[in-house]
Amino acid sequence: MSLSRRNFIKSTALLGGGLAIGFNLSGCSKAPPYPNMNATALQPNAYLQVTASGEVILQLHKVEMGQGVFTGLTTLAAEELKMDPALITVQHAEFHPDFRDPEFYVMITGGSSSLRLSYQTLREAAATVAAMLIAAAAQQLNVAESSLNLHDGKIIHAQGELGFADVIVRARGMSAPSVVTLTSPQDFQYIGKYDQRLDARAKVTGSSQFGLDVQYPNALSAVLLRSPDFGGKAKSFDAIAALAKSGVRSVINVDGAIAVIADTYWQARQAASAVKVEWEKGPLAGVNSDALRAERHSLLATESGKNVEEIGDPSAASGVLFDALYDVPYLAHATMEPMNALAVVKSDSIEVWTGNQAPDIALSAIADATGFSREQIRIHNQMLGGGFGRRILPDYLVEAARVAQLSGYPIKLVWSREDDMRGDFYRPNSSVKMSATVEANVVTSLQAKVAAPSIMGQFVGEVSNTLLPQWIPDGLHGKLAGLAASSDPAATEGLIETDYQFPYMRTDYIMQETSIPIGYWRSVGHSQNAFFMESFIDELAVKTGQDALQFRLNHLPVDSRRRKVLKEVADKAGWGSPAAGQFQGLAVHESFHTMVAQIVSVSIEDKKIKVHKVVCVVDCGVAVNPDIVRGQMEGGIVFALTAALKGNISVVDGAVQQSNFHNYELLRMNETPEIEVHILESAEAPTGVGEPGVPPLAPALANAVYAASGQRLRQLPLKLV
Amino acid sequence: MAELSFTLNGQTQALTIDSGTPLLWVLREQLAMTGTKFGCGMGLCGACTVHLDGQPIRSCSYPAEFVNGKNITTIEGLAPTEDTLHPVQQAWLEMSVPQCGYCQSGQIMSAVALLKANSSPSDDDIDKAMSGNICRCGTYPRIRKAIHRAAELSVQYYQPATTEVGAES
C-alpha cells in the first residue's frame, strides 16, 4: 500500500470514526485510551484490535513467565475469531484499568487465575470483534450475516472472501453489539485441541526478548550495593578508587544503597568491589532463622492464637490426643533471570522496561518514590525469565527509576545472582502443630495450629501508605480492613476449607511478628500447608492401621472432587504395587480451584532419597491447552522437589547466608524423576495450573520416604537420619 | 584495555575491551547479542553456554581475551538460515520444551555439543552432559525427550553425504 493511501485511510478514519473521537475524549476524563490505540484500527475493547491492514493484535493483560498465558489467552481469542492462534500478534499490554483483575482489583498476574478469570471476558471481547467484522461485511456485500463465516483472518462469503482490511473502515463506524454468542464447546476448534506454544520458536532461537535484553540508546549500567542485613542503610562511602576505574561515570547514594554507574555491567560490577561503605544496621540486625523457629515453637506452646475455622463441636474430640510438630524454612524464588529494569526519566515522564507481574502496583510505587504521577509513568513488560511470585514486587523497578532520576542517565539496573538470592521476598518459614484425637481407632478430630509471619501483613504494610489513597478501589478497602483485623489467608490456606470430614475440625493462627521480607512464592501458603496436612493425614492412616488411600476416601464426602483424582492416580500409578525395591507415597491437594493428586515412588540408598517416578492427576476443568497443562504439572513437580529435597534459606544477624547456586541448589537433570501427568476430562470452566502442581509433591514424597524407611520426616528439606 | 579479534557465528569481530571482561558481557553489551543469558556469574547454571571451537564453555566466567583468533558460536548462530532451525532447536519445538525460556539458549548449546560428541546418547549420557544446566521451570523431562528426538533428526544433519551444513564448520 502506498503512503498516500495509508494517510488517506488514516485521515478518513480520524474524521469519520466515532470510535477514535470517543477514545480521545475519554482519554481526557477518567478512563485512559486503550493500550496501543490506533485511530485507524477497529478496537472496541482494551483487549483486541484489528489494524487497517487487517492484523489482529491481542493486548496480553497477563505476563508470560513460563506458565503459558501467551498461548492460552491467545487461544481463547482465536476460538471466537475462528483463526489459527499463530496468526494473532500478541503484545504484552501496558497498564489499563480494564485489565484490573476482578478478584485482586489490580492489574496483576498471580494466583493461578489468568485463564479462569479471562475465560469469559476474553472470548466475549473476541466475539465482539468477530460480530462487528461480520456485520460490516454483510453491509458491504449486502448479504445476510448468517451467510458469512470467519476463517483464519478472512471473511468467507458465497462468492469468495474478504480480508479484515476490506471492512475495517465500515466496522469502525458501527457500534459494538451489546450481546454476543460464544462458540459452543462442542464446536471448539482450538480450545482443548491446540498443542503448540506460541512463544516457543523465539525461545529456541534466542530472539525472545526478556527484560535483561532490552537495549536503549546511551543507557548506562548500574549495580547497587545494599546493606548486608535487611533494612540497613549506607552511612557513608568512599568511591575514590572506584571512580578511577575504567568506564565508571558516577557513584551515588540512592535511598540508602550505593549505586555504581558505568558504561557496562562488568565495569560497574568491578568498580562496586572497590567502593568502601560504612553501613548502619537495620531493624533486623541480630535476627537468626534458628531463633525464629524456636520462637514459633514457643508461641505454639504458649499462645492460643486466633481461630480461623471451626467445624463441629469440641466435645466430639474424644479419645487419645496425638500431635506432631512440623517445620518449613524460608525459600528463595531464584528465577533464572535475576531482577533487572531499564529506566528512562525525563522532566515529565518515566519509562521502564522490565518483566513484572503487577504493573499496577509498580506504577504507584514508582510514583511514590519519584514524585511523578502515575499517568506520567509507563511500564513496558517483556518476557519474564521466571516469576513464581517474585516479580509481583516493584522494588527493582523503583530502584532503577530512582537511580535514573538521581543520576540523570538512562539506567539499566542489573542484579547479580547474589543480590537476587539475598534481596528476595521469601516464602515464609512456618511451624505447625497438627493434632488429632483417636477413639476406638476412629479419628474424632483434626486440628492445626499455625505459627508463621504474615505475608499480607508485610505487603499491605508496605504498600498501603503510598497506594491506598491513589488507586485502591472501594472494594479492596473493605477487604484490606478485614485482613488487617483478621488473620492472613496465606498462612492457613490449604489447612482450612478442605473437604475432609472429621467430627471436630479446627485451625488457629498465631502471627509471628519478626521476619525478613516475605512474599508470594509459587502456590503461597499451600506450598507448606499441604505438606503439613497431607503428611499428618498419612500419619493418621498409619496410626489407625488403614491404607492411605482408603483412609482418605473414608473421610471425604461422596461428591468430593478429591475422590476422582485420588482414584485416578491410584489406578494410573498402580497404588499398592510399587516396582521392586521402591516405595510409594500419596497426597492430594486443592489449590486455586484445581485438584491435584500425586503418587511418588522412591528408594533409599545410604540414607539418600532417590525419587524414581511421580504420577500426577489433575482436575483443572477444561484444559485449554492440554500440553501446557502437562508442562505446568511437570514443572511444578520439579520446583517442589527442589523445595522438598534441598531448599533452605537461613538467616544470621539479619542477613541471608545463601548467595548462589552452590549453596542454594536447584534440582538438576540427573536428579529429575520420570513424570507422568494425566488430565481428568471435564466440561467445567478452566481453573489455573501454574501453581497447583507444587503442593502435593512434598507430602507425597515424605509419605513415600516413611514407607521406605519408617522415618516420619516433619521438616523440609527432607533429611534422613 | 585489550584488543580482541575473533569469529562470531562466522563473522569476524574486532573490538576493544576492558581486560578481564567475561565473554558473556562482551557478547551481550558490546555486540548486542542477547540470546546468551546471564544467570549466576559463576559457571554454576549454564545459561551463558556458548561454543568455543565447537566445545561448550560458560561465557560468564570465561575471559574474552582467551577467545582471540578463535571461533565462537552462540544460539543466534546455530540455525543454518533464518527460516530453518538446527535439529536440536527443531526437537525443542516438537517437544514444546521452553516455559519461561530464559535458560533454553544454554540448554540447547549444551545439547548440541553433546550430540556432536555422541550421536545417540543414553539417558546416563544426557544426565552427565546436561546436569550443569539449571532450569527453574523444570523442563528437564522434555529436554531429555527432545535430545533423543534431536538424535533422530541429526543423523542427516551431522553426516551429510558431501558438505558440512552446520554454521560452525
C-alpha to C-alpha distances, B51 to A21, A270, A702, B106, B111, nearest whole angstrom = 55, 26, 41, 10, 11
Q: Say if residue A238's pLDDT is above 80.
A: yes
Count residue pairs from A and B with Cβ separation < 8 A. Answer: 184
Q: Say if residue A467's pLDDT is above 70.
A: no
Residue A279: beta bridge partners? A234
Query: Cβ of B44 and A661 within 8 Å?
Result: yes
Q: Counting every residue, how long is chain A?
A: 721
How far is it, in rounded angstroms, from Cα B25 to Cα B20?
Answer: 11
Interchain CB contact of B118 with A (< 8 Å)? no
| Phi, psi dihedral angles at A49 (to 5 degrees) | -140, 150
**Quick one: pLDDT at residue A716?**
98
Query: Cβ of A200 and B25 within 8 Å?
Result: no
Mean pLDDT of chain B: 93
Write the pLDDT tens digit of every residue in B41-73.
999 999 999 999 999 999 999 999 999 999 999
**Quick one: pLDDT at residue A454?**
87
Query: Cβ of A247 and B18 within 8 Å?
Result: yes
Instruction: Fill in the DSSP letter of residue A162.
Output: E
All three cell numbers of A472: 485502591
Interchain CB contact of B126 with A (< 8 Å)? yes
All three cell numbers of A668: 538438576
Interchain CB contact of A200 with B (< 8 Å)? yes
Question: Mutation test of the interface with chain A: which of B85, B109, B136, choosing the one with the most A Cβ atoms within 10 A?
Answer: B136
**Quick one: pLDDT at residue A308?**
94
* B78, B100, B128: residue with CB nearest A336: B100
Q: Say if residue A561's pLDDT is above 70.
A: yes
**Quick one: pLDDT at residue A458?**
73
Q: Say if residue A124's pLDDT is above 90.
A: yes
CATH architecture classification, B2-77: Roll (3.10)
The dihedral sign for the CA sequence B149, B133, B119, A677 = negative
Write the pLDDT tens digit of every residue in A22-59.
222 233 346 789 999 989 999 999 999 999 999 999 99
How far is it, in rounded angstroms, from Cα A634 to Cα A621?
Answer: 18
User: Which residue has 484499568 as its cell numbers?
Assistant: A97
Q: Say if residue A478's pLDDT is above 80.
A: no
How far is it, in rounded angstroms, from Cα A116 to Cα A594?
Answer: 10
Question: Mutation test of the interface with chain B: which of A67, A70, A203, A415, choosing the one with the most B Cβ atoms within 10 A?
Answer: A203
Q: Say if residue B167's pLDDT is above 60.
A: no
* A265, A385, A637: residue with CB nearest B100: A385
Scan residues 20-59 of B and list those with Cβ closer than 8 Å to A.
20-22, 25, 28-30, 32, 34-42, 44-45, 47
Mean pLDDT of chain A: 92
Query: Cβ of B99 and A68 within 8 Å?
Result: yes
Question: Mutation test of the interface with chain A: which of B16, B65, B102, choosing the one with the most A Cβ atoms within 10 A?
Answer: B102
Q: What is the pTM of this model?
A: 0.93
Higher pLDDT, A588 or A488: A588
Higher pLDDT, A7 or B19: B19
Q: Say if residue A12's pLDDT is above 90.
A: no
Minimum mean pLDDT range among A483-487, A502-506, A604-608: A483-487
Scan residues 415-454 of A and list those with Cβ closer than 8 Å to B.
416-417
Q: Are A436 and A317 in contact (CB under 8 A)?
A: no
All three cell numbers of A473: 478501589
CATH architecture classification, B87-158: Orthogonal Bundle (1.10)
B75 interaction partners in chain A (CB closer than 8 Å):
205-206
Per residue in A46-60, is it b (16+ CB within 10 Å) or e — as a string?
Answer: bbbbbbbebebbbbb
Higher pLDDT, A3 or A585: A585
Report the complex ipTM. Answer: 0.94
- The mean pLDDT value for A702-718 works out to 98
* A206, A210, A628: residue with CB nearest B76: A206
**Quick one: pLDDT at residue A488?**
81
Q: Please name the residues in contact with A498: beta carbons below 8 A apart, sequence gap of 6 or more.
A: A533, A590
| Phi, psi dihedral angles at B48 (to 5 degrees) | -100, 15
Residue A163: beta bridge partners? A154
Q: Say if residue A8's pLDDT is above 80.
A: no
Residue A311 CB neighbour total at 10 angstroms: 18
Write the pLDDT tens digit of every residue in A359-394.
999 999 999 999 999 999 999 999 999 999 999 999
Write the pLDDT tens digit of every residue in B97-140.
999 999 999 999 999 999 999 999 999 999 999 999 999 999 99
How far is it, in rounded angstroms, from Cα A115 to Cα A690?
Answer: 10
Q: Are A157 and A141 in contact (CB under 8 A)?
A: yes
**Quick one: pLDDT at residue B163?**
45
Q: Please name the residues in contact with B95: beta carbons below 8 A apart, sequence gap of 6 or more.
A: B142, B145, B146, B149
- The mean pLDDT value for A633-640 works out to 98
All three cell numbers of B1: 584495555
How far is it, in rounded angstroms, from Cα B84 to Cα A241?
Answer: 50
State how far residue A268 is from chain B, nearest Cα, in angstroms.
11
The amino acid at residue B88 is V
Q: Are A453 and A425 in contact (CB under 8 A)?
A: no
User: Which residue has 523457629 as its cell numbers?
Assistant: A293
Residue B48 CB neighbour total at 10 angstroms: 29
Domains by residue range for chain A, with CATH: 3-205 (3.30.365.10), 211-282+339-414 (3.30.365.10), 289-330+427-709 (3.30.365.10)
Interchain CB contact of A295 with B (< 8 Å)? no
**What pLDDT band is residue B158 in, cutting at 50, 70 and 90?**
low
Beta strands A504-511 and A306-311: pairing type? antiparallel
Write the pLDDT tens digit of every residue in A517-555.
999 999 999 999 999 999 999 999 999 999 999 999 999
Share of chain A above pLDDT 90, in %: 89
Q: Where are the domains of chain B?
A: 2-77, 87-158
- Nearest by Cα to A266 from B69, B70, B62: B62
How far is it, in rounded angstroms, from Cα B96 to Cα B115?
Answer: 19
Instruction: Decide: helix, strand or coil at residue B91.
Output: helix
Write the pLDDT tens digit of every residue in A270-309.
999 999 999 999 999 999 999 999 999 999 999 999 999 9
State how far residue A206 is from chain B, nearest Cα, in angstroms.
4
Interchain CB contact of B62 with A (< 8 Å)? no
Write the pLDDT tens digit of every residue in A62-71.
999 999 999 9
**Quick one: pLDDT at residue A114?**
96
